Each structure stands twice: as C-alpha cells, then as structure tokens.
Structure 1
Amino acid sequence: MISKKSVGIDVGIKTFAYDSDGYSTPNPLNLKKMLKPLARVQRKISRRKKGSNNRLKAIHHLQRIHEKIVNRRKDFQHKLSTAYANNNDVVFVEHLEKLNMVKNRRLSRSIMDSSWGMFLQKLEYKCKLLVEVSSQNTTINCSRCGNKVPKGLTVRIHRCGKCNLVIDRDYNASINILQKGLKIFGQDNLPQELWKVTPVEISMRSVKQEQIIQRFR
C-alpha cells in the first residue's frame, strides 16, 4: 500500500537541504575545504620546470585532490538523495534559476561547490515522483498565513508580523515548496488517482512554471 508521503526540499549554501519535515542537512562544501591544499599544489606546479618529473608528480597530486572532492560530493549527494527517495513517495523541489545565481560573484563558487543540479538529477533518477515548482516567493511568503515578509540573504529567521510565526527561513521556504506542489494537484493531499494515470495525463495537470520531472515508477 502506498503511503503517499510527500516532502518539500529547499536547497541552499549554508544548509544544503532543509525539508518540510523540519530536517536540515549542513552543506559539506568540499571544494571550499580543499582550497588551501589546492593552492599549495598549484604553487608547487608553477615553480617546477615544465616537462620535469617533479612537475608531473605535482600535477598528478592536483588531479587526485580534485578526484577526492568529486568523490566526496557524489557520496554525500547519493546518500542524501537515497534517503529522500526511500522515505517519500513524492518529492517537491523548486526550479532553480542557476544562471542568474552563478552571476553573483560573491556566491558563485559556493553555488558551484554545492552542485544542486547534480543533486536534483539524482533525485530525479531515484524518486518515485519528483515535482519541480516555481521558486517565486518561496522565501518571502509566510507558510502559515501567506503574508509577504521580504528579507535579505543575511536574515536567517522568518518573522511574520501578521501571524507571529517565527521559524528558520529555509524551513519556511520548504513548507511553501510543499504547498505549491500539492496545489498542482488541486488539494492538500495527493489524490489516489494520481498513481493510476499516465505521464502525459499528469503533465497536462501542471500549471505554468511547474513541471513534472518523473512519475511513479
């Protein structure tokens, strides 16, 4: 019997994933942790004579560090995506405007290090159903009353002056993502017939800027 358990996930830099069940996963930022070793090896390469064995050894050392970063990132994302796929029938995520975010020079390295796109690809492959929703106002809107509460990137707590809700901003966003996803299907609980229709029929139900990524396997 399908439990139709659903969850909304908000991804970020400081906290890699915060879900609508209230669980947060810190961002390992594997590249950031290895910047000093990378810089040391790169300086060593620049000082070595081109074509020398010492330079070649330093280059191989640099390659091993990059491989370690990639492997750690893959391992982290595989474990997290598997946990979400195994514990939920439906996962809702927001559509990320990756290009605009990468243009932010101050955050671009951390954004690339987070590799949210790779994480979403893993979710798409593993999840029974992955639904992408619009990211519009997921951070601003109060998840309890809908009141708009603008906040800068440095403000980590959502404080609503209308209903007095005080929660982590990413937690608030994840609840909004879940609510947006559920509204695609016209109600707060996923309908039984969802699991019986074809992928085409599901896609026809989606609204503008919302996209069904993968249906129940």
Structure 2
Amino acid sequence: MISKKSVGIDVGIKSFTYDSDGYSTPNPLNLKKMLKPLARVQRKISRRKKGSNNRLKAIHHLQRIHEKIVNRRKDFQHKLSTAYANNNDVVFVEHLEKLNMVKNRRLSRSIMDSSWGMFLQKLEYKCKLLVEVSSQNTTINCSRCGNKVPKGLTVRIHRCGKCNLVIDRDYNASINILQKGLKIFGQDNLPQELWKVTPVEISMRSVKQEQIIQRFR
C-alpha cells in the first residue's frame, strides 16, 4: 500500500506530459521550430564551394543551431523531471514500446524531437521510485469504469458511452497508468475527485513550461 504522493504520467506529442493530477505541459518541439532555419543554412552550404571559408562558416552556423536545439531540449527536460521528482514519492510511467511502432514519417520526427526516452532516463535517476507499467490499453480503457473506448490519433477527447465520462484522452491515459502502478502495490481504489475535471478546466490548466515549473516550487 502506498500512502505517499504518487502520480501517473502520460507522454505525448501535443502535450509533452499529461499527469494524473490533471496538469499538461505543452511540448516545446524544439526541432520543429528550427526546421526552416536549418533548411536555410543547409541550402547555403550546398551553394558554397567545398573548402571555402564561406562554406565553413555556414557549417559552423548549422552546428550552432543543432547545439541550441539540444541544449533547449535538455534544459526543458531537466526542469520538468526535477519538478516531478521533488514533488512525488512514486512516479508511474508507461513502457514506451510504442516508440518502435510508428511508421508515419512526420509523426516519427515529432517523436524524435520529443525525446521521451531521454526524459524517462532523467526521471529514473532523479525520482525516489520510478515504476514502468504496461502501455496496453491505457488510451483505450475508460479510467473510471474500464469500458473499452477505441479512438484514433486525431481524437483528443475520451467519451465513454457506459459511464458518460468525458475527459482529455491523455488525462484518461495518465489515470490508467496511475491505476496500473498502484495495483502493483496492492492498491485499487482511486479518489473520485480525479474524474471531476472537465475538458474546459483541463484546457485552462494547460500552461506554459515556466508556469508548471513554478507550480512545483
């Protein structure tokens, strides 16, 4: 039985994290934001003569852009993982076998940009206890009644026809992750307050990175 603070975290593309407390952190997608500058510099390199000073300058410019992307990603993940580690005794996440299941090129690029694996590594060495659970049906199952509610990637709201629960699909998944984790420790019942957050309230809670980091201080 776990009596201390625990949280379930679902990672995604639109929201980098959505947790079972009802908070989402927007995905910064640093690479996506820099695709145009990258393409511009790469074109400049291709037009420059090999071995010329101008080509070398353009190559160094490209390297600086890539370095900026990596540093921004690391900084974002460091702050967010520290916040979760400092404010929870147990953090539950899903096993990310889905990383190898995506064949859509654009989606694969967004997944690479998100670097979920790097984020989980940070959580692993910072958290008091990080527990991975199976990702099976975390999106499909209704977190309140267990009814299966299939939905495509474009469907953002979970609507259960059995118990009438209507919440964000990622919030629903994070509660399922929390439930799976707690069951490992012999705990089955969750407080009913978890399902009282409406989609409107969730939208209002979707805040900038700086705000969610501040929330944990």
- Normalised by the size of structure 1, how large is the TM-score? 0.85
Q: What is the identity percentage for the equivalent residue pairs of Structure 1 and Structure 2?
A: 99
Distance 1:86 1:192, change over 3 A: farther
- Normalised by the size of structure 2, how large is the TM-score? 0.85
Distance 1:40 1:210, change over 3 A: closer
Deviation (angstroms), 1:195? 29
Corresponding position of 1:174: 174
Corresponding position of 1:38: 38
**Contact 1:5/1:90 (<8 A) preserved:** yes
Distance 1:127 1:212, change over 3 A: farther
Alignment length, in residue pairs?
217
Deviation (angstroms), 1:103? 2.8
Q: Are 1:190 and 2:190 matched, yes or no?
A: yes
Task: Specify every segment of 5 or more residues in structure 2 that has no aligned partner in the other structure, as ranges.
Answer: none
Task: Specify every segment of 5 or more residues in structure 1 that has no aligned partner in the other structure, as ranges.
Answer: none
**Contact 1:10/1:94 (<8 A) preserved:** yes
Distance 1:112 1:161, change over 3 A: same
Distance 1:146 1:163, change over 3 A: same
* 1:186 alignment partner, SS class: coil
Deviation (angstroms), 1:101? 3.3
Distance 1:86 1:28, change over 3 A: same
CA shift digits 1:30-64 (9 cap, x unpaired): 00000000000000000000000000000000000
Deviation (angstroms), 1:209? 32
Alpha-carbon RMSD? 10.5
Deviation (angstroms), 1:76? 0.3
CA shift digits 1:108-133 (9 cap, x unpaired): 00000000000000000100000000
Deviation (angstroms), 1:2? 10
Distance 1:91 1:195, change over 3 A: farther
**Contact 2:11/2:18 (<8 A) preserved:** yes
Distance 1:58 1:120, change over 3 A: same
Distance 2:87 2:137 in 1: 27
Q: Are 1:94 and 2:104 matched, yes or no?
A: no
**Contact 1:18/1:174 (<8 A) preserved:** yes
Deviation (angstroms), 1:106? 3.2
| Farther-moved stretch of structure 1 (170-179 vs 182-191) | 182-191
CA shift digits 1:165-195 (9 cap, x unpaired): 0000000000000000000111148999999
Deviation (angstroms), 1:81? 0.2
CA shift digits 1:125-181 (9 cap, x unpaired): 100000000000000000000000000000000000000000000000000000000
Deviation (angstroms), 1:104? 2.9
Distance 1:122 1:196, change over 3 A: farther
Deviation (angstroms), 1:97? 1.3
| Farther-moved stretch of structure 1 (101-110 vs 74-83) | 101-110
Corresponding position of 1:112: 112
Distance 1:159 1:203, change over 3 A: closer
**Contact 1:20/1:175 (<8 A) preserved:** yes
CA shift digits 1:52-102 (9 cap, x unpaired): 000000000000000000000000000000000000000000001154234
Deviation (angstroms), 1:202? 35
**Contact 1:184/1:207 (<8 A) preserved:** no
Corresponding position of 1:75: 75
**Contact 2:8/2:177 (<8 A) preserved:** yes
Higher relative contact order (CA 8 A, sep 6+): 2
Distance 2:34 2:75 in 1: 16
Corresponding position of 1:4: 4
